Chains A and B, each alone.
Chain A
């Protein structure tokens, strides 16, 4: 190399290395951490972190609450998720707190890079999920929770320009999850159903309500996951969506996913997404990776 790297680049590289090392160290500690640091709920029963910050799969919330906290216990989870689609990239950072497996409070920041259209959209999501009744393993009807997600766009000028009525909105959802023991080839099958009332366009990233429809829509979301081993689940998700904006058609979302729980502290999720048409750009497909650390 003939030119020495610029100071800014060197500083950035060093900072990047530092953050990388710290993350690596945290991950190593988490993978080797004593199980005494974890809650008592069984491995996998807290799901992973879905893109809006709630405990769930990738796209849809589940009835379970984050982490492995049970009666008399607390849990905290932190996650980072990235999706790369044909014309977009989504990055989500999330944290969630679980109090006694009764109440989950979560926060997520979504950043959608508009690789083809140019620019970026950012959204903050404050979430609360209350476990109403049941347990995913022990109750004959599974576990049922009621959740609210308050979503607020950072800069709503683009969503408004394409016809969105508002730049913030509240999703309300009822979610149920049940593990069916010995369901398929001796393995346990996790079944999730979510009913959501929402005005959000593309999850809120394109605003709320629109020129075609401004009122709330009731949409259904569902997923199944087969635990091949107690640590490893493979499945699929489907998320129905409203279609409020006249300028572009909005499709339902779906994915095939797999999640590996190294222990109660670390899980890694990968998925193959098919998010349909987004803001006029058709057939948005791509990969998804999500890392969660829990205590």
Chain B
């Protein structure tokens, strides 16, 4: 067995162990993603920080020209709460209709994702819940971009 082979096996083992350590040893229930994001308070802080970043981005803020920002903030809080298994049900418009004919490109979408990633990092959300939320938000891409 060559040294590289042994190293490959070692890395695979480390990945596997890393994956196993994610699971709790005892049957205590894992906290929901919502709880890991800091619950109602945490999600509110994330949405506020994120909204300020969108407002400060000249390429993005134009899409909010005719928006009620308070309603946007409340709606996004509710949606993230819903997406992260929190005690909410998203009651806003479906993602395709909410963004239809806005003329958004993938470049705009990427910029917004980058703002969200940096928000989560700066709000001190650990890598696990951060990447989990980003993964759940990434799945909205198809709907958001379907009626452009």
- Contact surface of A with B, Cβ cutoff 8 Å: 39-42, 70-73, 101, 135, 137-140, 180-188, 226, 229-230, 236, 254-256, 272, 274, 283, 285
Contacts and interface: CB of A to CB of B under 8 A. Distances in A.
B3 to A, nearest CB: 8
A138 B130 CA distance: 16
Interface in B104-132: 105-111, 113-114, 117, 121, 126-132
A200 B29 CA distance: 54
B141 interface: yes
Contacts of A230: 117, 121
Given A137-B138, A256-B4, A236 B11 contact: yes
A186 B107 CA distance: 26
A133 to B, nearest CB: 12
Given A182-B132, A185-B18, A256 B106 contact: no
The 5 A-B residue pairs whose C-beta atoms are closest, nearest first, are A181-B135, A186-B128, A138-B141, A185-B18, A274-B4
Given A138-B138, A256-B4, A274-B2, A181 B131 contact: yes
Contacts of B107: 39-40, 70-73
B128 A256 contact: no
B54 to A, nearest CB: 14
B7 interface: yes
Nearest to B126: A186
Nearest to B112: A40
A42 B114 contact: yes
B25 interface: no
B102 interface: no
Contacts of A255: 4
B94 interface: no
A187 B129 CA distance: 10
Contacts of A185: 18-19, 21-22, 128
Contact of B106 (A71, A229, A274, A283): A71
Contacts, number: 90
B89 interface: no
Q: Which of B2, B113, B131 has the most CB of A within 10 A?
A: B131
Given A72-B107, A187-B127, 11 more contacts: A40-B106, A73-B107, A138-B138, A184-B22, A185-B128, A187-B131, A226-B15, A236-B8, A256-B8, A274-B2, A285-B4
A255 B11 CA distance: 12
B74 interface: no
Given A42-B113, A72-B107, A182-B132, A256 B7 contact: yes
B114 A182 contact: no
19 contacts: A40-B114, A42-B114, A70-B107, A71-B105, A71-B106, A72-B105, A72-B107, A138-B138, A138-B139, A138-B141, A139-B141, A185-B19, A185-B128, A236-B11, A254-B4, A256-B8, A272-B7, A274-B4, A285-B3
A42 B21 CA distance: 28
B142 interface: yes
Interface string B84-113: 000000000000000000000111111101
A70 B141 CA distance: 14
Contacts of A274: 2, 4-5
A181 B132 contact: yes
B61 interface: no
A184 B18 contact: yes
B13 interface: no
B10 to A, nearest CB: 10
B127 to A, nearest CB: 4
A135 B138 CA distance: 10
A138 B4 contact: no
Contacts of A72: 105, 107
A101 B106 contact: yes
B62 interface: no
A228 to B, nearest CB: 9
